[in-house]
Amino acid sequence: MKTTAELIADDPLWLSIIKVVAIFAFGVVMTLFMIWLERRVVGRMQHRPGPNRVGPFGLLQSLADGLKLAFKEDIRPVVADKWVYFLAPIISAIPAFLAFSVIPFGPDVTMFGHHTALQLVDLPVGVLVILACSSLGVYGIVLSGWASGSPYPLLGSLRSAAQVISYEIAMGLSIVGVILRSHSLSTSDIVNAQEGGWYFWLLPVSFVVYAISMVGETNRAPFDLPEAESELVGGFHTEYSSLKFALFFLAEYVNMVVVSALATTLFLGGWRAPWPLSAIDGGVLNTGWWPILWFVGKTFFFLFVFVWLRGTLPRLRYDQFMRLGWKVLVPVSLVWIVLIAASNALWNTPGVTTGQRLIFFGVGIVVLLVFALLLPDKRVADDEEFVPVTGSGYPLPPLDLSVPKSPPRRRLPAAPEPAEREMEPAAVAAADKETGDGSL
Amino acid sequence: MTGAELVFVPLGAVALGSSVLVVTTDQLVRAALWLVVALGALAGCFLLLAAELVAWVQVLIYVGAVVVLLLFGIMLTRAPIGRSVDLDSGNRVAALVVALGTAGTLVTVVVGGFRTASIDLGDGSAGSAGTVGAGLFRYWVLPFELLSVLLLAALVGAIVLSRRDIGPRARDGGED
Amino acid sequence: MSGFFSQAQQLQAPDVAYQAVLPMLLVLGAACVSVLFEAFLPRERRWGWQVALTVVTLAGAAISLIVYGNDAPKAGVKTFSDVLTIDRPTLFLWGTLLLLAFGAVLLIADRSVEPGGAFVAQAAIRPGTLQDRVQAAKVGMQTEVFPLTLFALGGMMVFCAANDLLTMFVALEVLSLPLYLMAGLARRRRLLSQEAAVKYFLLGAFASAFFLYGIALLYGYAGSVKLADIATAAAGTNRSDTLLFAGMGLLVVGLLFKASVGPFHTWTPDVYQGSPTPVTAFMAACTKVAAFGGILRVLMGAFASTNWEWRGVLWGVAIASMAIGAVLGLTQTDVKRMIAYSSVAHAGFLLVGSIALTSKGVSGTLFYLLAYGLTTVATFGIVSLVRDADGEASHLSQWAGLAKRSPIVAGVFTFLLLALAGIPLTSGFVGKFVVFSAALQSGMAPLVVVALVFSAVAAFFYLRVIVLMYFSEPAADGPTVTVPGAFTTMAITIGALATLVLGVFPSFALDWAGAGGFTF
């Protein structure tokens, strides 16, 4: 019996190419389908039909939209940084697809006479690769916002950078729980380790934290602050149009699919058939091509939840969102990791009976409870040491800040003193008012 | 030349070239981006040495978090598009001389020291997550724990330097 | 049930001689508890709790050190998979560090000399703003200095005991980072303090890079970062010495920077002057102990067999350091800068003992560190007492005629300066004597002569201050001498008494310092 990694290593080149194409097609088709699904489901939730004109049930709507986008004019703002503006959408799309390469879609199959696994590569550090790819994707967003050269996209990219970094920590910590149980960073090993039980109920806290942070990581509602329509017009992609805009759309939806697929892999047993089905005929449904069905089904479950959340929840305020990430998800994950490690250590220590283990845990819980009860209520005391926050201009810039020069193309030659006299009266008045404000 | 050497040469060239660009470009954000390229090329070199875990951690931490934080800092303060004239220093000639001198010395030393040396990567398990983990927690456990102490100290320091206490105000109303 | 908790092979945890490393664990553990205090205690109660915790920790660590030291194996103990060596010099250095840190903590905790303490209430407030003026009137302080002090102390303890370069590097960072921060937290003259912090940080980061590159080259040379392995590799002759000496050079530059030796001292005056005085005391005393502990261990452990090649260079460095310290110290007009240059000169003297590479050299250097550290803590305690409306009056002209205003303070300060100058009946004299005699014995007579000349030159600027204090008329608007609170009094008393005792009855401390050699 060969391991998955060995199986894949034996793949001939053409088989690998087939897999690459299949994964790419999967991503693109899922994107088109998801856009349609999202619009239909949200429509249903809002008692309206949603797109239903193009093709059966409006299925071809996203294709039509995509074609339309391709024919739109490609606009680049004058002040934009040309290269970065061009690269940003590409940078955001590529890592999204890359992450697919380590997701196991199924077990061993025979494909065109070759025995192989339904996975492009099986790295010993596969989970890290996915995390690294998702952290690379943030560059697309950050750079697009910056390179657009206008304020709303910049704000969007700032938010996005803060958001992705914050939620990546929670996500990484939730995955640590899985790794502690499966003893491997390889995705296929993690799926194999779930033979005895899926991790979503063995590691419920990790699952919940991951589920929340995957929504934050993909900038989806209710955490879609980087592109908050009502606040930032469209956030980082405000200035984009045509195919570049389409690339952002593609990246967002592929990212959704990736995190859902990863959630399936890490917590829902990957390609394993759900319980009553897995018992049929000694697990025949866990072999051959069947698992792809279960895998895609579970992934769709998560994708549906994404849409459901968007249809249900209002957007969080930025500070609430950050507080949730740093003050709830991260500490909860840390405590949970300690618990898992402690239980691992207890169960691996020889000579400890189950009764003793339970007593140990009971004592731990009691200590925690007592500690929680002893913690005093947060008292809002009068503070002798209070120093006012406002008063000398915060958050205004310091008085000696040199104002950055305007971008090169917009810069007018510095007008000499007499030139001001030649301005139109209204302009002179405006200029006077400005200088007046400045000297206040 | 072996396959690994064939890959190493362009990777090294990319790392070197982008590092030079980091310090020579006069656009702040682009400097950060070239840094990303340089770090990515280094990660590639790690991969060549079969240090898989280190390579991906490099991507995850340095490329994915540290430089993003740098960009975050740049954008929070200025976010200039185009050339930043004040990035040029009058000392650039001196800096160039010092840098070239240092580089020359180090290259001489390293080439002199390792001209005939070669590393046997074995079966590639030296850089695997299991080996690194065992090394960390068996032999290097004290430095590892000390690093967590260091990070804690840094965290405290960051809070000390940046956090304003926005507590309740004094009863008498105090100053405005 | 056991199926859930899988049976991956268990890692063998390293053996830890808990008794031996208990002082270090106590300090680091207390630092973490102290962070929790910051997080959970209401602000008005933090200072008291932090001071109590810190003092109790230092006392507990000292007690555990003494208890262990009484029956410690003479050959030393290696623990944590051999990354730490707890031998006699380690124990002496730890004891010295704990004692000096105790003195420095007393200065840090003092709130009577400067109302509210020497530390700013909220470091995040920009200097010169309205908020800054408001907070200047308040009496709070940033109590995070206590955990930071403990972190730094823990780092120093590991640094002296580290048996391999990697642990040493991590410990170096642990001891440096809190110091960078604390340098910027002064309550008065905040811009100067922040400038000092930034300078210290940038130059320190630079020095760390040197250190790290040195480690990399030495690893390339020896295939290991353990001191013993490097020594073994250096004893074999079939490898390229370029790597060894390039690596050693870079490594030693990083170490000398921390010890503020010779041409690598450029940060010292600015940082000593800008930092809050208690932090300067901590930095001047404890960092020097830790850095020279590290230098001794590295030179003895890894490079002793090749000393013919590198000793000449370190001769030059020691001479340069003494010359810079003594000559530039003459030109200073600020007391703190003057002491900073004096510390550069003293670093030169210490280096003389360190490159003797004999057991007498080690014990002499250790004794010198103890004596110098105690004197320095007391000196900075006195410096913090002389104040005017702007805070500390550190300009020398303001010290004119101090003896007429406050004979006791002037008297103690005179005594301490004499100790720094190395006059008999003070610990400074004994320290210089043992270090120089060790150097003579290992055949460094020319260096000792040079060192004696520079001692004489350096003595001149100490005497200048003494003359200024006793034989000048006090300025009309001169500074006042604050009556110190219990903490500062205690710190100064400990330092001054120890200076006297170690000067008159040095034998017991010399015995401790010479109780055993390094183990690698």
**Could you list the pLDDT tens digit for every one of the 520 residues in chain C?**
334 444 456 677 788 888 889 999 999 999 999 999 888 888 778 889 999 999 999 999 999 999 998 888 888 888 888 889 998 899 999 999 999 999 999 999 988 888 778 888 888 888 877 778 777 777 778 888 999 999 999 999 999 999 999 999 999 999 999 999 999 988 888 889 999 999 999 999 999 999 999 999 888 888 889 999 898 888 876 677 888 888 899 999 999 999 999 789 889 999 999 999 999 999 999 999 999 999 999 998 888 888 888 888 999 999 999 999 999 988 888 999 999 999 999 999 999 999 988 888 999 999 999 999 999 999 999 998 888 877 888 888 888 888 888 889 999 999 999 999 988 889 999 999 999 999 999 888 999 999 999 999 988 889 988 998 898 888 777 788 888 888 999 999 999 999 999 999 988 888 888 887 888 7
Residue pairs spanning A and C at CB distance below 8 A:
55
Helix locations, C7-128, DSSP H: 18-40, 43-70, 88-109
User: In chain A, what residues touch B53 (CB-CB under 8 Å)?
Assistant: 124-125, 128
With beta carbons less than 8 A apart as the criterion, state whether C344 and C265 touch: yes
Residue C1 belongs to what H/E stretch? none
Size of interface B-C (CB pairs under 8 A): 116
Instruction: Please tell me the predicted confidence (pLDDT) of residue A290.
Output: 79
* Of C391, C408, C413, residue with least CA distance to C468: C413
Contact A139 B128 (CB under 8 A): no
* Contacting residues of A for B174, CB less than 8 Å apart: 386, 388
Comparing A360 with B140, the larger pLDDT belongs to B140
Query: How far is Cα B22 from Cα B44, in angstroms, rounded to an integer?
Result: 18
Beta carbons of C4 and A202 less than 8 Å apart: yes
Strands C77-79 and A114-118, how do they pair? Answer: unpaired
- Interatomic CA distance for residues A407 and A84, integer angstroms: 16
Chain A nearest-CA residue for B75 = A158
**Residue A87, CA distances (Å) to A141, B44, C244, C314 in order:** 11, 21, 46, 54
- Residue C357 falls in which region: left (phi positive, over 0), alpha (psi -120 to 50) or beta: left
Task: Let me know if residue A309 belongs to a domain.
Answer: yes
DSSP string, B47-87: HHTT-HHHHHHIIIIIIIIIHHHHHHHHHHHT---S--GGG
Cβ–Cβ gap C130/A388 under 8 Å: yes
3-class secondary structure, C14? coil
The CA distances from residue C192 to A50, C189, C328, in Å, are 65, 6, 21
> Is residue A430 in a domain?
no
- Contact assignment for A385 to C43 by CB distance below 8 Å: yes
Which region, left, alpha or beta, applies to residue A283 given φ > 0 means left and ψ of -120 to 50 means alpha? Answer: left
Out of C32, C170, C243, closest to residue B146 by CB:
C170
For residue C5, give the nearest of A197, A343, A392 by CB distance.
Answer: A343
Q: Which two tokens stand for residue C225?
A: 């970062």
Could B156 and C147 be called an inter-chain contact, meaning their C-beta atoms sit closer than 8 Å?
A: yes
Q: Which of C266, C259, C280 is nearest to C100 (CA)?
A: C280
Q: Does C191 touch chain A (CB under 8 A)?
A: no
Give the residue carrying structure tokens 């560059």.
A139
Give the chain B residue nearest C241 (alpha carbons): B113
Q: Which residue from B27, B56, B68 is facing A142, i.e. has the nearest CB?
A: B68
Beta-strand (E) ranges in A22-78?
Answer: none
- Long-range (24+ apart) CB contacts under 8 A made by A115-121 are A115/A7, A116/A7, A116/A8, A116/A10, A116/A11, A116/A15, A117/A4, A117/A7, A117/A8, A117/A188, A118/A271, A118/A291, A118/A292, A119/A4, A119/A8, A119/A19, A119/A187, A119/A188, A120/A8, A120/A16, A120/A19, A120/A20, A120/A23, A121/A8
A182 occurs within a structural domain: yes
**Of all residues in chain B, what percent carry a pLDDT higher than 90?**
18
Q: In angstroms, what is the C-alpha Rg of chain B?
A: 22
Which residues in B lie closer than 8 A to residue C142 (C-beta atoms)? 160
Give the list of residues 6+ apart from residue C49 with CB closer than 8 angstroms, or none.
C37, C41
SS3 at position C71: coil
**Phi-psi map region of A7: left, alpha, beta (phi>0 left; psi -120 to 50 alpha):** alpha
Question: CB-based contacts of A88: which residues, under 8 Å, 6+ apart?
Answer: A139, A140, A141, A143, A144, A147, A244
Q: Which sign, positive or negative, has the C-alpha torsion A96, A100, A101, A103?
A: positive
Residue C86 C-alpha, separation from nearest chain B C-alpha, in angstroms: 14
pLDDT the model gives residue A403: 62
> How is chain B split among helix, strand and coil, in percent rounded to 5?
75, 0, 25
Q: Closest by alpha carbon to C167, among C289, C24, C304, C31?
A: C24
Nearest CA in chain C to A194: C4
In 3D space, the residue among C294, C507, C481, C495 whose CA is nearest the CA of residue C385 turns out to be: C481
Which residue among A84, A125, A157 sits closest to B56, beta carbon to beta carbon? A125
Torsion of Cα atoms, C474 then C478 then C480 then C481, to 10°: -50
CA distances from C298 to A238, C96, C221 (A): 59, 19, 16
Could you tell me if residue A28 is inside a domain?
Answer: yes
What average pLDDT does the segment A33-48 reach? 88
**Per-residue confidence (pLDDT) for residue A233, from 0 to 100:** 66
Inter-chain touch A387–C10, beta carbons under 8 Å: no
State the nearest Cα–Cα gap between C47 and chain A, in angstroms: 13
Q: Which of 109-168 (B) contact A at CB < 8 A?
A: 128-129, 164-168
Asked if the Cβ–Cβ distance from C181 to B161 is below 8 Å, we say yes
Q: Which residue pairs from C341-345 have beta carbons closer than 8 angstroms and sit at least 24 positions apart in sequence?
A: C341/C268, C341/C269, C342/C420, C342/C458, C342/C461, C342/C462, C343/C260, C343/C268, C343/C272, C343/C284, C343/C288, C343/C376, C344/C260, C344/C261, C344/C262, C344/C265, C344/C268, C345/C321, C345/C454, C345/C458
Minimum distance, in Å, between the CA of residue A313 and any CA atom of chain B: 28
Chain B CB contacts of A326 under 8 Å are none
- Tell me the two tokens of residue A175: 């995955």
Contact A385 C140 (CB under 8 A): yes
Q: Given CB atoms, is B60 within the 8 Å cutoff of chain A?
A: yes
Distances from the Cα of B20 to the Cα of B23, B34, B39, B55, B62, angstroms:
6, 9, 13, 22, 18
Quickly tell me which residue has 């124990």 as its tokens: C91
Average pLDDT, chain B: 81
Distance between CA C219 and CA C202 in Å, rounded? 26
| Separation between Cα atoms, residue B8 and residue C236, nearest integer Å | 32
Q: Which of C81, C142, C220 sits opposite B141 (nearest CB)?
A: C81
Q: Taking residues A115-127, what's their average pLDDT?
A: 80
Which runs of E-coded beta strand occur in C52-209?
77-79, 84-86
In a domain, A80, yes or no: yes
Q: Is the Cβ pair C32, B149 closer than 8 Å?
A: yes
B135 interaction partners in chain C (CB closer than 8 Å):
none
What is the C-alpha to C-alpha distance for residues A230 and A218, in angstroms, rounded to an integer? 19
Q: Degrees (nearest 5) of the Cα angle A366, A342, A172? A: 110
Comparing CB atoms, the residue among A347, A348, A387 nearest residue C134 is: A387
Cis before C424? omega within 30: no
Asked if the structure places residue A174 within a domain, the reply is yes
pLDDT in tens, C235-256: 876 677 888 888 899 999 999 9
d(CA C170, CA C178): 13
Q: Point out the residue among C80, C123, C171 whose CB comes nearest to the CB of B161.
A: C123
Q: Tell me the pLDDT band of A429, cut-offs 50, 70 and 90.
A: very low
Mean pLDDT throughout A277-295?
75
Domain annotation covers residue A338: yes
Distance from CA of B140 to the nearest CA of C (A): 8
Cα–Cα distances (Å) from A2 to A115, A127, A354, B58, C87, in that order, read: 10, 21, 36, 30, 52
Q: Domain count for chain A, please give it.
A: 1
d(CA C452, CA C36): 50
- Give the separation between CA A36 and CA C63, rounded to whole angstroms: 73
pLDDT score recorded for residue A414: 56
Q: How far is CA A229 from CA A75, A93, A213, in A?
A: 20, 22, 21
Neighbours of A175 (CB within 10 A): 24
* Chain C nearest CA to A179, separation (Å): 11
Q: Which of B114, B160, B164 sits opposite C144 (nearest CB)?
A: B160
B165 contacts in chain A (CB < 8 Å): 383, 385, 387
Q: In this complex, which of A125, A128, A158 lies closest to B72 when CB atoms are compared?
A: A158
Residue B174 has pLDDT above 50, yes or no: no
Contact C243 B109 (CB under 8 A): yes
Whether A239 maps to a domain, the answer reads yes
Q: Is there a contact between A248 and A240 (Cβ–Cβ < 8 Å)? A: yes
Least confident of A153-157, A397-401, C43-47, C288-292: A397-401
Q: Is the ipTM value over 0.85, yes or no?
A: yes
Is any Cβ of chain A less than 8 angstroms from the Cβ of B53?
Answer: yes
Per-residue pLDDT tens for B114-162?
A: 777 676 766 667 777 788 888 888 888 899 999 999 999 999 999 888 8
Does the CB of B164 have a partner CB in chain C at under 8 Å? yes
pLDDT for A408: 66
**pLDDT, tens digit (0-9, with 9 covering 90-100), for A4-31:** 777 777 777 888 888 889 888 988 888 8
Nearest Cα residue in chain B from A183: B130
Quote the pLDDT of residue A395: 56
Looking at beta carbons, which residues of chain B come within 8 Å of A135? 59-60, 63-65, 68
C9 touching chain A per CB within 8 A:
no
CA-CA distance, C137 to C123, in Å (whole number)? Answer: 14
Chain C residues lying within 8 Å of B133, measured CB to CB: 11
State the Cα–Cα distance between residues C482 and C487, nearest whole angstrom.
13
Q: Is C362 exposed, middle or buried (0-12, 13-18, 19+ CB in 10 A)?
A: buried
In whole angstroms, what is the distance from residue B157 CA to residue B149 CA?
Answer: 12
What is the average pLDDT across B162-176? 54
Contact C424, C362 (CB under 8 A): no
Are B81 and A143 in contact (CB < 8 Å)? no
C371, C502 contact by CB (below 8 A): yes
Q: Rounded CA gap, C15 and C78, in Å?
A: 10
Q: Which of C34, C2, C9 is nearest to C153 (CA)?
A: C34
What dihedral angle (degrees, nearest 10) is formed by the CA atoms of C422, C423, C427, C431? Answer: 40
Task: Say yes or no: A5 contacts chain B, CB-CB below 8 A.
Answer: no
- Residues in C touching A354 (Cβ below 8 Å): 1
Domain residue limits at A168: 4-347
Alpha helices in C223-287 (DSSP H): 227-235, 241-258, 267-274, 277-282
Supply the pTM of this predicted model: 0.86
Element containing residue C203 per DSSP (H, E): helix C190-222
